[in-house]
């Protein structure tokens, strides 16, 4: 007897969804994001084209460029053999540090889900070096605020895991070397503590790159009157003072970057520098999670390999292609280049973050080293405080009320009325304020003209009791039985034969059209209706 059940196992209720979920989990392509922050015309579009390996369009020129509130583009990231797609890379940009733009970013990059997959690039422009510290402070503070999000428990866990991952990356950083490294367990398990001034900020452990663009213009010299760009405009020539200032700027940037665990790169339009920056960005995006502590007596799990290793050596000597990876720098290496106190600059930076703007702040010290040579906006005109409307009207009313000739209503009044008039400009109009014809006068004039025209056109027989100067058609209507025409005042029927007032007016206007014609035609056409009626009355009588 077969021990197996005769009935097969029932299939899942939603078989198609389970198949799709199994396929999607096995073939899911991770998504990575790069957020580029910088002021207008700092070279953000050039970096975007380098990260995505897309040619820059003609719209990137300053005269044709259109900035959107949030710029977005994407591309697929493939392996070295260009066979498999490893990730989908999205690049976001903002036109400036204005709050109306940066407030939109959390909607597209929510920190709860974007923290482990986001790299931030802060772009500085070497043609405006006096803005470095101020812009760094603005952008780094925004990054810290963005990473805090809504402060939920899930976000706090993601922040802690992300910081552990980045801190482990800094501690395990090894400078690339051509010499073979002995594969010993002692070196792989050795974890050095972070030095002073390293990763004191950036509590969420976000990978940050400080990219100083247009580094080929550092030594560009221009006349100070015509305008300057770069350090060469501040110090004419390429002597000791020029080198001292450029080295001082680099040491300050390295000290600030060290506090946030950030990397420092100088780029030029040359593809070599942009390619190095792209390789390091991918290496930072795919940093593996921090290794979990091993349990005694068990084998430690194999470390996860980064699919994009960074093999470029650090470089602090070539001023147009500086490369300082995160995890390599320290206060000692910064002080070797030239006499410099990184601790004092770190304290000055802390005073800036606390809001102190005295002479020992980082902004004040940096302004002494790199004076502001930017074009100043023209000063605003003095504030014009207008006179209140009621005070202005009261003043002019008092002045004009004393002068009768200033009253504009005088043009419509009789001279006799102006002699005794004392009214001001503003006030009620009198009944004779304007010498204009009123409705009653116009109707009376029209009625007289109609009477004269009808009288001269055809004599009519007088009806006893009817005024001689009023035609029959213009008699006021009186009470009459229903169905009968209006009657005359003495009770006799109206000579108009029951014509309405509209018909009488029609005859009047018809006579006006014909009265300027020859007398024979006018006399034979105008009184046609009334003359016929009168003739009928004479024959009847």
Predicted confidence (pLDDT) per residue in 38-89, tens digit: 999 899 999 999 999 888 665 445 445 566 789 999 999 887 666 778 889 9
Count of other CB atoms within 10 angstroms of residue 474: 16
Residue 475 confidence class, pLDDT cut points 50, 70, 90: very low
pLDDT band at 304 (very low <50, low <70, confident <90, very high): confident
- Residue 114, pLDDT score: 92
Whether the per-residue pLDDT at 34 is higher than 90: the answer is: yes
CA–CA–CA angle 204, 283, 68 (5° rounding): 70
Contact status, residue 117 vs residue 32, Cβ threshold 8 Å: yes
Q: Above 70 in pLDDT, residue 483?
A: no
* Per-residue pLDDT at 196 exceeds 80: yes
**Which one-letter DSSP state was computed for residue 314?**
P
The pLDDT tens digits for 134-180 are 999 999 999 999 999 888 999 999 999 999 999 999 999 988 876 65
pLDDT (tens digit, 9 = 90+) per residue, 423-449? 444 444 444 444 455 556 767 787 788
pLDDT of residue 347: 92
492 token code pair? 């006799």
Bigger pLDDT: 465 or 332?
332
pLDDT over 90 (residue 315): yes
The overall average pLDDT reported for the chain is 75
Residues of the chain above pLDDT 70, percent: 64
Task: Using alpha carbons, list the distances in angstroms from residue 425 to 409, 412, 413, 433.
Answer: 8, 13, 14, 13
**Who's near 93: CB < 8 A, 6+ residues apart?**
35, 36, 38, 44, 45, 48, 70, 71, 72
pLDDT of residue 225: 32
The pLDDT-based confidence of 529 (bands split at 50, 70, 90) is very low
Between 104-113, 221-230, 441-450, the lowest mean confidence (pLDDT) is in 221-230
Q: What is the pLDDT of residue 23?
A: 58
Which of 9-23, 161-175, 514-528 is the least confident region?
514-528
Say what the pLDDT of residue 463 is: 47
Q: Is the pTM of this model over 0.85?
A: no
Q: Which two tokens stand for residue 456?
A: 């001269």
What's the helix, strand, coil split of the chain in %, to 5? Answer: 45, 10, 50
Rounded to 5°, angle at Cα 326 from 322 and 329:
70
CA–CA distance, 290 with 303 (Å, rounded to integer): 9
385-404 pLDDT per residue, tens: 788 888 888 887 777 777 76
Q: What is the pLDDT of residue 36?
A: 96
Select from 280, 248, 275 the least CA-distant residue to 264: 280
pLDDT at 58 (0 to 100): 53
Phi then psi for residue 383, to 5 deg, are: -70, 130
Which tens digits make up the pLDDT trace of 345-363? 999 999 998 887 777 889 9
What is the average pLDDT across 441-461? Answer: 70
Q: How far is CA 276 from CA 234, 253, 266, 312, in A?
A: 29, 19, 10, 7
pLDDT at 426: 46
Identify the pLDDT of residue 515.
64
């Amino acid at each position: 007897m077969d021990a197996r059940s005769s009935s097969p196992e029932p299939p899942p209720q939603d078989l198609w969804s389970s198949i799709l979920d199994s396929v999607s989990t096995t073939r899911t392509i991770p998504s990575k994001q790069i957020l580029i922050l910088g002021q207008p015309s700092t070279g953000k579009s050039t970096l975007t084209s380098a990260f995505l390996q897309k040619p820059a369009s003609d719209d990137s020129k300053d005269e044709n460029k259109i900035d959107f509130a949030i710029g977005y583009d994407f591309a697929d990231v493939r392996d070295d053999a260009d066979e498999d797609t490893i990730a989908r890379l999205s690049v976001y940009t903002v036109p400036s540090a204005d709050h109306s733009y940066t407030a939109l970013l959390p909607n597209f990059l929510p920190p709860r889900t974007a923290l482990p997959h986001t790299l931030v690039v802060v772009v500085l422009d070497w043609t405006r070096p006096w803005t470095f510290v101020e812009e760094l402070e603005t952008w780094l503070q925004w990054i810290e605020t963005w990473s805090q999000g809504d402060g939920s428990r899930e976000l706090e866990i993601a922040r802690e895991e992300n910081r552990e991952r980045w801190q482990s990356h800094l501690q395990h950083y090894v400078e690339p070397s051509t010499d073979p490294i002995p594969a010993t367990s002692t070196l792989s398990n050795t974890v050095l503590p972070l030095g002073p001034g390293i990763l004191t900020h950036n509590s969420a452990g976000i990978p940050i790159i400080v990219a100083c663009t247009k580094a080929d213009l550092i030594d560009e010299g221009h006349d100070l009157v015509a305008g300057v760009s770069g350090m060469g405009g501040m110090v004419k020539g390429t002597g000791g003072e020029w080198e001292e200032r450029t080295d001082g700027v680099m040491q300050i940037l390295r000290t600030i970057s060290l506090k946030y665990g950030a990397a420092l790169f100088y780029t030029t339009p040359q593809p070599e520098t942009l390619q190095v920056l792209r390789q390091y960005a991918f290496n930072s995006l795919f940093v593996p999670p921090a290794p979990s502590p091993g349990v005694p007596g068990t084998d430690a799990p194999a470390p996860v390999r980064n699919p994009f290793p960074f093999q470029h050596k650090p470089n602090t000597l070539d001023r147009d292609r500086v490369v300082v990876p995160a995890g390599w720098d320290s206060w000692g290496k910064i002080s070797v280049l030239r006499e410099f106190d990184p601790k004092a600059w770190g304290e000055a930076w802390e005073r800036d973050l606390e809001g102190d703007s005295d002479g020992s702040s980082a902004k004040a010290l940096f302004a002494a080293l790199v004076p502001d040579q930017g074009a100043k906006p023209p000063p605003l005109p003095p504030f014009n405080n207008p006179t209140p409307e009621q005070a202005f009207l009261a003043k002019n009313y008092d002045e004009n009320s004393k002068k009768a000739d200033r009253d504009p209503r005088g043009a419509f009044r009789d001279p006799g009325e102006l002699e005794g008039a004392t009214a001001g400009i503003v006030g009620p109009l009198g009944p004779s304020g304007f010498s204009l014809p009123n409705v009653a006068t116009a109707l009376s004039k029209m009625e007289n003209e109609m009477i004269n025209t009808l009288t001269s056109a055809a004599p009519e027989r007088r009806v006893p009791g009817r005024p001689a100067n009023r035609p029959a058609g213009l008699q006021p209507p009186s009470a009459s039985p229903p169905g009968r025409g209006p009657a005359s005042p003495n009770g006799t029927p109206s000579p108009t034969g029951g014509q309405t007032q509209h018909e009488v007016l029609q005859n009047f206007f018809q006579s006006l059209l014909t009265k300027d014609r020859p007398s024979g035609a006018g006399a034979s056409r105008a009184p046609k209706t009334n003359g016929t009626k009168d003739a009928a009355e004479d024959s009847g009588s």
